[in-house]
Amino acid sequence: MPHRKPCLGIMLLVAALSTGCAAHLQTRTVQDGDTYDLWAARMEHMPFVFHEPDGHVDVYDVRGNAWTGPTNDLKDGSADRVEVYEGHYAAATGTMCTPSTTALTAGRAAGSANVVAAICDRGRTVVSFSDKVRARVLDAKTEYVPRVRHLLLEGIWESVAQEPAPLHT
């Protein structure tokens, strides 16, 4: 029976890799100055604004705890933040960071609910993603907010803007 442990390990690895593939990153909005390190540091002090399908909004810190910082600049879009919308969305859009409350509307598309999220540099979308998530996962904000952070930073890391400049010979 010693060969069962490696098989179990392989199965766990495959399962872990397959669960991380549900998110679809949108990296076209990443600019040269949007580095992983820059946004990783900024996100430590940014609010994560969750918009529920019924219009309710909750704000969390980077660890998924209730936000205790200022909220007066969130409605007009003049603050750096992470916007997270729960509902039925075709994909993340470049308008997720606009201050208009009608910038993103949930359609009644067939299929399960999903989440779209973006890092907002005031009104500019830095990077975004769409992710299918179960309600019980969304309810655990101390676990889901770090996933949002990870996916957004991964989008910056994988963007064309972060590719090294070619060497000139």
Reference 117, options 141, 92, 142; nearest CA is 92
CA 129 to CA 26: how far, in whole Å? Answer: 6
**What pLDDT does 55 receive?**
87
Q: Is residue 79 part of a domain?
A: yes
Q: What is the pLDDT of residues 107-118, one digit of tens each?
A: 544 456 789 999
Q: What is the mean pLDDT of residues 96-111?
A: 58
Q: Is residue 46 part of a domain?
A: yes
Q: Residue 85: is its pLDDT beyond 80? A: yes
Question: Domains in the chain: how many in total?
Answer: 1
Domain that holds residue 122: 23-162
Reference 158, options 135, 122, 128; nearest CA is 128
Q: Is residue 169 part of a domain?
A: no
Q: Is residue 98 part of a domain?
A: yes
pTM exceeding 0.75: yes
CA triple 118-146-80, angle to 5 deg? 40
Q: Is residue 97 part of a domain?
A: yes
φ, ψ of residue 51 to 5 degrees: the values are: -105, 115
CA 150 to CA 138: how far, in whole Å? Answer: 15
Side-chain-facing half-sphere of 72: CA atoms under 13 Å: 1
Query: pLDDT band for position 75 (50/70/90)?
Result: confident
Share of the chain above pLDDT 70, in %: 73
Cα-Cα-Cα-Cα dihedral of 70, 148, 121, 76, to 10°?
A: -50
Q: Is residue 72 part of a domain?
A: yes
**What pLDDT does 107 receive?**
53
Q: What is the mean pLDDT of residues 80-108?
A: 73
Q: Is residue 4 part of a domain?
A: no
Q: What is the mean pLDDT of residues 64-85?
A: 91
Q: Is residue 33 part of a domain?
A: yes
**What pLDDT does 17 receive?**
37
